[in-house]
Structure 1
Amino acid sequence: MAVLLSIGDFSRMTYLSVKALRHYHDLGLLVPAEVDPGTGYRLYEPGQVGTAQAIRRFRDLGMPLDEVGAVLAAPDVTARNELIAAHLRRVERQLERTQAAVSSLRLLLERQPQPIEVECRSVPAVPVLAIRDRISMDDSEQWWAEAFDRLHAAVGEHRAGPDGCLYHEEFFAEDIGDVLAYVPVRGNPAGRGAVEAVQLPAADLAVTLHRGPFGELDQTYSALGTYVAQREIGADGPIRETYLITTGDESRHRTEVCWPVASLTH
């Protein structure tokens, strides 16, 4: 005769609350071996403990329940391990971002504000290959990487300057808005698919150089925004970022932040 465990005993054996076990049953993640038709009591087999413990560990790693379900339903060990490895890579990237944020916060607390050097420039219109989209701040890092991968594949020998992005005001104000990733080009390269050939408009800009990780760009934005506001020279238009140096070592990144200002010709 098979040994059956009450949901209370199974909860104690797996460190999963009764509420969680009921939820996992409702989702089909961990279905009891039997459900008493008269009382509705859920009964589990000892052999289900391993599955319950695996679910708890996946949840401790922040794996969404739909992904937990995909892992449990994987057709074979290889498919299951690929799903788990993909999630671990996401956890590692999140850990890297957390560590970077901690380091940045420590510097923010310890470092005294430094004056910035600002240059006002009038830049002409230039032809670019570009990808435009409406994105959220949360998705911007992945979108940025994918957009420039596609642009770099398309630009070839036509490159005429460093990569850049335009961020419209709505992107900052609403956490979602229009962004244009671009590469300046010479000649007449044709766009294809999401990559389009466009003219980057002329602009008057207050420009300063950010040294270091993208995660600390907000400090340069605040300093440059303060500079522009104090002089009452701000104008409508998108913020530009120009990526002079991007490497695997983020401390070596060099990014020009360009704030739109009133016409410099008057």
Structure 2
Amino acid sequence: MSTHLSIGEFARLTHLSVRTLRRYHEAGLLAPARVDGLSGYRYYTADQIPTAQVIHRLRELDVPLATVHRILGAADRTTRAELVAAHLRRLEAELDRTRAAVRSLRRLLAPEPAPVAVEVRPVPSSIVAAVEADVELDDVLAWYAGAMAELDAALADPVTTPGGVYDNALFEVGRGHALVYRPSDDPPRRGRVHPVELPAVELAVATHVGDHDDIDVTYGEVGAWVVANALAVAGPVRETYLVGPRDTDDPARWRTEIGWPVFSVTDPAG
């Protein structure tokens, strides 16, 4: 009795279609144990069943073909496990982005979205300890984390509420000036940390609740309020991190004040 299985028999044993097995062969993932030189028929062995099933599971997880090749060719289990774990982390990150997009869409498409509460607030000038740089919009979060860690390390005074000032160009063209700060009575000069005077300004302020995945929705709501009240934006946006990752691991408890510097565009004389 032959130890080789026809492609049809192998398909039944693995629950993979003949077409799928042919694709695996053509992609170099699973070569038959023997191919008949005259008929071209493919034959497999029982030892190849686990390999076929592993490939199937990996492809169900959208593992790229090149990575499947590396996993199958890995010399030891540790390397294979590391390759699979790396792909699973990428899938989890994509899932997080998908969930964030769904939350934002639900908020945007709600039949009667809760109105954002906006107030105009005068803010006096202040001296702060700051780190600033020109950054790419895609790099802002990583840059912010590093800058805030440097501020925390440089300041010995009790923890104060941090904030940020972000140039309009950052949002308009994807690159602009960013500044993060902590209020301080005596700002030090250490590394990138240095004193900065924030000018007095009048802000249209609203509080964003939760993580920052849909903070753009709150920005839009504040912007609509500014326009509806005949105000114009007069400078870089300010954010104040009332509660954030430095305070709690629960994103639902985060609170971020968004402040748009504004001035009236109406004629006071009527």
Fold shared by both chains (TM-score > 0.5): yes
Offset at residue 250 of structure 1 (A): 1.2
Contact 1:128–1:200 (8 Å) recurs in 2: no
Contact 1:233–1:261 (8 Å) recurs in 2: yes
The reply on whether 1:87 has 2:87 as its aligned counterpart is: yes
* Amino acid in the other structure paired with 2:154: E
* Amino acid in the other structure paired with 1:251: A
Q: Summarize the alignment of residues 7-22 of structure 1 with structure 2, pairs less than 5 Å apart.
A: 8-18=8-18, 20-22=20-22
Distance 1:16 1:190, change over 3 A: same
Offset at residue 190 of structure 1 (A): 1.8
> In 1, Cα distance between the equivalents of 2:239 and 2:87?
31
> In 2, Cα distance between the equivalents of 1:187 and 1:234?
35
Distance 1:85 1:231, change over 3 A: same
* CA deviation vs aligned residue, 1:183-223 (integer Å, no higher than 9, x gap): 447221223xxxx8696975854221112232342442232
Q: Which of 146, 150, 153 is the matching residue for 1:154?
A: 150
Q: Which of 242, 245, 248 is the matching residue for 2:243?
A: 245
User: Gaps (5+ residues) in structure 2?
Assistant: none
Q: Summarize the alignment of residues 144-223 of structure 1 with structure 2, pairs less than 5 Å apart.
A: 144=141, 146-155=142-151, 156-158=153-155, 161-164=161-164, 166=166, 168=168, 171=171, 177-178=175-176, 180=178, 182-184=180-182, 186-191=187-192, 202=199, 204=201, 205-223=203-221
* CA deviation vs aligned residue, 1:154-203 (integer Å, no higher than 9, x gap): 331338651536374564x67x5557463447221223xxxx86969758
Distance 1:183 1:55, change over 3 A: farther
Q: TM-score, normalised by structure 1?
A: 0.70
Contact 1:131–1:151 (8 Å) recurs in 2: no
31-40 vs 182-191, which deviates more? Answer: 31-40
Offset at residue 54 of structure 1 (A): 1.4
Q: Secondary structure of the residue that 1:234 maps to in structure 2?
A: strand
> In 2, Cα distance between the equivalents of 1:26 and 1:121?
68
* CA deviation vs aligned residue, 1:76-132 (integer Å, no higher than 9, x gap): 111222232333344445555555666666666376523413234457585522465
2:118 maps to: 117
Contact 1:203–1:260 (8 Å) recurs in 2: no
* Amino acid in the other structure paired with 2:143: A
Distance 1:110 1:55, change over 3 A: farther
Root-mean-square deviation (Å): 4.1
Q: Secondary structure of the residue that 2:258 maps to in structure 1?
A: strand
Contact 2:104–2:217 (8 Å) recurs in 1: no
Aligned length: 252
* CA deviation vs aligned residue, 1:222-263 (integer Å, no higher than 9, x gap): 321111111232337554433221121111101111234348
* Amino acid in the other structure paired with 2:150: A
User: Gaps (5+ residues) in structure 1?
Assistant: none
> In 2, Cα distance between the equivalents of 1:30 and 1:239?
56
> In 2, Cα distance between the equivalents of 1:66 and 1:201?
52
Distance 1:202 1:4, change over 3 A: farther
2:130 maps to: 128
* Amino acid in the other structure paired with 2:210: G
Q: Secondary structure of the residue that 1:116 maps to in structure 2?
A: coil
